[in-house]
Amino acid sequence: MKTKNFLLVIAMIVSGNVLFAQASEVNTKLSSIEWQGKKITGKHDGKIQLKSGSLELKNEQIVAGNFVVDMTSITNLDLKDEGTNQKLVGHLKSDDFFGVETYPTASFKVTKSTPFSNGKATLTGNITIKEKTETLTFEVVKSGNTYTADVEVDRSKFDVRYGSKSFFNNLGDQAINDIFTLKIKLVVS
Between 51 and 37, the more confident residue is 51
pLDDT of 148: 98
**Rounded distance between C-alpha atoms, residue 37 and residue 182, angstroms:** 9
* Domains of the chain and CATH, by start: 25-187 (2.40.128.110)
The secondary structure of 1-61, three-state, reads CHHHHHHHHHHHHHHCCCCCCEEEEECCCCCEEEEEEEECCEEEEEEEEEEEEEEEEECCE
In the chain, % of residues over pLDDT 70:
80
**Rounded distance between C-alpha atoms, residue 69 and residue 26, angstroms:** 12
Which tens digits make up the pLDDT trace of 124-175?
999 999 999 999 999 999 999 999 999 999 888 888 765 545 454 554 445 5
pLDDT of 169: 57
pLDDT of 155: 86
Of the pLDDT bands very low, low, confident and very high (cuts 50, 70, 90), residue 14 is very low
**Rounded distance between C-alpha atoms, residue 45 and residue 66, angstroms:** 25
